[in-house]
Amino acid sequence: MNDIEKIVENTIIHNWARHFKHPTTQFNKLHESDAELIKLYQDSNNYLAITIDTIAEEITTGLYQDPYTMGWITVMANLSDLAAVGSTPLGLVISVSVESSRDEKFINQVAEGMETACRTMNTFILGGDTNITPATALTACAFGLVPRNEALTRRGCKAGDSVFITGGLGTGNALALCRMAKLPDKYFPEQLYRPVAQIKEGLILRKYASCCMDTSDGLLATLDQLMRINGVGFEVNCDWNTILAPEVIKFCEQTKTPSWLMIAGPHGEFKLLFTVLADKEKELLATNKNLYFIKIGTVKQTPDISLILPNKKNVNIDVTPIRNMLYNVGGDFERFIKEFRALGKKWGLE
């Protein structure tokens, strides 16, 4: 159940990565970190953390329609990877590819989304590259420093550790479901989706987390990936009022959407999911009362994922078909939702 290559996305990445030799100066292995960690020079006390991410499918599929969102997410998705390794940003470079038909207003709004995201996080776009392409694709590369002995990775959690998230989940999936099911925008306006990279939280977690990963692909995919990397399992307490963001709870109520879809869909929310040695949990919470750390479960020995539902039933689920579904249905969103919900019914989640 926990072979990492059972996930189509991991296989695609592996098919590229297997060609590439890595330097001895690189700390992380494939899949094991949200950002690459590399020694700047032999006796440097810091790693350079560096990550690259392109926003393309979210635009071509119509998930993002507001150019400001496109720009905002391009920056935040990259900063979120830095947050997950405990780094603070030094800056970003961007490569922006747009159709020749795009007007100045479009450019201005994308750029404004990018710049406002940078101002929010107190970082900077240093420069970049522009291209004319058949479809918009926005790439950023973010980089920063992190002390070598404090860098966070996806590897390191042990049975008994507590599992936390840094905020309410589901905003990404609420927006995606709204689009896929062709619900009126008013139920989840795109402008509600303005995730903020958890840089401040990552900085604190350097001293506490046994592993850390951002929830850019949704909660279940994040847990599933950590399961495969660490050979452990997770038990999650599905108290929806605790786990989901308030606007997501409202969305579910108004549209009669089953709550579990908000943690199961592939469009995440850029919070951090991290694990903490049970011994350190009290100290973490006591010394960081102004930050919002939500305990959602525990790490367990057996490599599977158990959900404790509000009715106290305990359901063991295999996330593999969920994670591979987008690849299997192509772009057929109707089929996607149908197959998704069929799984939920099978598992007794709705």
* 136-195 residues near a second copy, rule: CB under 8 A: 137, 139, 141, 143, 145
Which tokens hold the place of 133? 């392409």
Task: Tell me how many residues contact a second copy (CB under 8 A).
Answer: 64
Residue in 130, 287, 301, 328 binding a second copy, rule: CB under 8 A: 130
Minimum CB–partner distance for residue 145 and a second copy (Å): 7
Query: 301: which residues sit within 8 A by CB, 6+ positions away?
Result: 159, 232, 233
- 125 lines the binding site for a second copy (CB under 8 A): yes
Helix axes 320-329, 219-230, angle to 10 degrees: 120
CA dist 58 and 80 (Å) reads: 17
Residue in 1, 5, 23, 278 binding a second copy, rule: CB under 8 A: 23
- 103 lines the binding site for a second copy (CB under 8 A): no
Minimum CB–partner distance for residue 61 and a second copy (Å): 10
DSSP for 264-310 reads HSS-----EEEEE-HHHHHHHHHH-TTS--EEEEEEESSSSEEEE-T
- 134 lines the binding site for a second copy (CB under 8 A): yes
- Return the sign of the alpha-carbon dihedral for residues 61, 66, 72, 76: negative
Residue in 1, 4, 54, 294 binding a second copy, rule: CB under 8 A: 54
CA dist 322 and 301 (Å) reads: 23
The piece of 44-52, 233-241, 266-274, 290-298 that touches a second copy (CB under 8 A) is: 44-52
CA neighbor of 240 nearest in space, from 224, 222, 264, 217: 264
The residue ranges that bind a second copy (CB under 8 A) are 9, 12-13, 15-17, 19-23, 25-26, 28, 30, 36, 38, 40-41, 48, 50-54, 56-57, 60, 90-91, 93-97, 100, 104, 107-108, 111-112, 114-115, 118-119, 123-135, 137, 139, 141, 143, 145, 330
